[in-house]
Amino acid sequence: MFKKLDVRTKIIIVLCISTPAVLIQDPYILTAVFAVSILLSLFTGSNLKMVFKKLSNVWYIFLVLVLLQSIFSGSGQKLLSIGGLTILTAGGIIKGVEFVLRLMIIIISATIMTTSNHREIIQGLNQFKVPYEISFMVSVAIRFLPMLSSEIKNTLIAVQLRGIEIEKLKFFKRISLYRYIFYPVLINTVKKAQGISIAMEARAFRAYPYRTSYLILKFRAIDYFIIPVSFLLAISLILYYYFFD
């Protein structure tokens, strides 16, 4: 049922989840929103397993974020001090956890959009009256990321085929290798993006101020139910936090 949601409904769901995540600073409410975002992502068919797998590769960034928040917002009970410097406080940890929760909510809710293809996303934005030049720009940006990733993979394979074992390189040598391949990767990706933009222009893109669309999105009964419920819940949550909590 949720898997067949209109892409515009998904955009609204993402907005209704991420807006409270940004505005609310309460770890309990954020945890609840986080749980809802996971449930909705699962219902809409997102590949959460892959997202968590990828996030697990950068877990140390989250740890650094928690520590930085702890150091710089020194509120609450002191938990760890070195000399006169407070390193860890209870308030700091809570702030850090809030920050990470907020980030996770935004990332996980955004995965809901990955269950629609970019043609549907463009059309959804167009039917929301976003100018088509802007929605296509979004689409090219969406396409640019996998292009960049495949370019990096190809370049790293090319480097390995020349006999360099990247895993065995020392940290600084590895950094120097990445710096070495950065420019060719970037230039090739930009060239490909330019190729796409030329191909689009050569197929009459922007020939007229308006364009028709072969794909027309239509709301179903479930969309008419989900949209007001999402708005209602998001607004209630924000009002509850600011006026009653």
Partner 1 sequence: MIYPLEIKNLSFKYAQEGKNILNGLNLKISSSEITAITGPSGSGKSTLCYCIMGIIPHIYQGVLEGDVLIYGRPVSKMKVSEIAVSAGIIFQDPDTQLFSPAVEDDIAFGPENLCIDRKEIDRRIVESLEMTGMQKHRFSDPDRLSGGEKQLIAIASVLSLNPDIIIFDEAMSQLDEKSAARVRSIMGGLKKSGKAVIAVENELKNLKMADCLYVLENGVLHEEEING
The nearer residue to partner 1, 9 or 114, going by C-beta atoms, is: 114
Contact 108, 51 (CB under 8 A): yes
According to the binding rule CB under 8 A, does residue 201 interact with partner 1? yes
C-alpha–C-alpha distance, residues 1 and 26, integer Å? 32
According to the binding rule CB under 8 A, does residue 183 interact with partner 1? no
How far is the CA of 109 from the CAs of 39, 57, 119, 201, in angstroms?
10, 19, 19, 34
The nearer residue to partner 1, 82 or 216, going by C-beta atoms, is: 216
C-alpha–C-alpha distance, residues 208 and 211, integer Å? 7
According to the binding rule CB under 8 A, does residue 56 interact with partner 1? no
Contact 151, 195 (CB under 8 A): no
Contact 174, 159 (CB under 8 A): no
According to the binding rule CB under 8 A, does residue 213 interact with partner 1? yes
According to the binding rule CB under 8 A, does residue 186 interact with partner 1? no
According to the binding rule CB under 8 A, does residue 129 interact with partner 1? no
The nearer residue to partner 1, 161 or 207, going by C-beta atoms, is: 207
C-alpha–C-alpha distance, residues 52 and 125, integer Å? 28
According to the binding rule CB under 8 A, does residue 134 interact with partner 1? no
According to the binding rule CB under 8 A, does residue 195 interact with partner 1? yes
Distance in Å, CB of 94 to partner 1, minimum: 43
C-alpha–C-alpha distance, residues 154 and 74, integer Å? 46
Please identify which residue in 149, 211, 220, 231 interacts with partner 1, judged by CB under 8 A: 211
Binders of partner 1 in range 5-44 (CB under 8 A): none
Total Cβ atoms within 10 A of residue 151: 20
Give me the residues that bind partner 1 (CB under 8 A), please.
117-119, 139-140, 143, 192, 195-196, 198-208, 210-216
